[in-house]
Amino acid sequence: MSVIPTLEADVLRRQDPELAEVLLGELTRQSTTLQLIAAENFTSPAVLAALGSPLANKYAEGYPGARYHGGCEIVDVAERIAVERAKALFGAEHANVQSHSGSSAVLAAYAALLRPGDTVLAMGLPFGGHLTHGSPANFSGRWFDFVGYGVEAESGLIDHDQVRTLARTHRPKAIVCGSISYPRHMDYAFFREVADETGAFLIADAAHPMGLVAGGAAPSPVPYADIVCATTHKVLRGPRGGMILCGGDLAERVDRAVFPFTQGGAQMHTIAAKAVAFGEAATPAFAAYAHQVVANARALARGLADAGLVVTTGGTDTHMVIVDPGPLGVDGRTARGRLAAAGMVLDTCALPHGDARGLRLGTAALTTQGMGEAEMARIAVLVAAVLREEVEGRQAREEVRELTGRFPPYPE
Encoded one letter per residue, x for contact with ligand PLP by CB under 6 A and - for no contact, window 196-215 reads: ---------x-xx-------
SS3 content of the chain, % helix, strand, coil (to 5): 50, 15, 35
CB of 230 to ligand PLP, least distance (A): 8
Is 274 tagged catalytic? no
Output the residue with the shortest Cβ distance to ligand PLP. 102
Distances from the Cα of 301 to the Cαs of 30, 41, 236, 389, in angstroms?
Answer: 23, 19, 21, 20
Between residue 367 and residue 406, which ones bind ligand PLP under the rule CB under 6 A? none
Assess 78 for contact with ligand PLP (CB under 6 A): no
Is 58 tagged catalytic? no
Is 61 tagged catalytic? yes
Is 205 tagged catalytic? yes
Assess 238 for contact with ligand PLP (CB under 6 A): no
Give the whole-angstrom CA distance, residue 206 versus residue 213: 9
Nearest to ligand PLP of 39, 72 (CB atom): 39
Give the whole-angstrom CA distance, residue 226 versus residue 203: 6
Assess 277 for contact with ligand PLP (CB under 6 A): no
CB of 64 to ligand PLP, least distance (A): 23
Whether the ω angle into residue 260 lies within 30 degrees of 0, i.e. cis, is: yes
Rounded to 10 degrees, what is the CA torsion of 294, 295, 299, 300?
-30
Assess 103 for contact with ligand PLP (CB under 6 A): yes
Cβ-contact 201, 179 below 8 angstroms: no
Sole window of 70-78, 173-181, 249-257, 378-386 interacting with ligand PLP (rule: CB under 6 A)? 173-181
Pairing mode of beta strands 201-205, 174-177: parallel
Give the whole-angstrom CA distance, residue 23 versus residue 4: 8
Sole window of 56-64, 177-185, 214-222, 327-335 interacting with ligand PLP (rule: CB under 6 A)? 177-185
CB of 208 to ligand PLP, least distance (A): 5
Distances from the Cα of 272 to the Cαs of 21, 82, 133, 182, 210, in angstroms?
Answer: 27, 7, 29, 30, 19
1-4 long-range contacts (CB < 8 A, ≥24 apart) are: 1/45, 1/49, 1/412, 2/412, 3/27, 3/45, 3/48, 3/410, 3/412, 4/48, 4/52
Residue count, binding to ligand PLP (CB under 6 A) = 15
- 6, 13, 32, 61: the catalytic one is 61
Assess 184 for contact with ligand PLP (CB under 6 A): no
CB of 45 to ligand PLP, least distance (A): 22
Determine which residue in the list 172, 178, 215, 238 makes contact with ligand PLP, applying CB under 6 A.
178
Assess 231 for contact with ligand PLP (CB under 6 A): yes
Give the residue ranges of DSSP H helices in 91-222. 102-113, 139-143, 160-170, 188-198, 210-214
Is 355 tagged catalytic? no
Is 59 tagged catalytic? yes
Between residue 128 and residue 157, which ones bind ligand PLP under the rule CB under 6 A? 130, 132
Backbone angles phi, psi at 337, to 5 degrees: -65, -45
Give the binding site for ligand PLP (CB under 6 A): 39, 101-103, 106, 130, 132, 178-180, 205, 207-208, 231, 242
Residues classed as catalytic: 59, 61, 205, 231, 234, 240
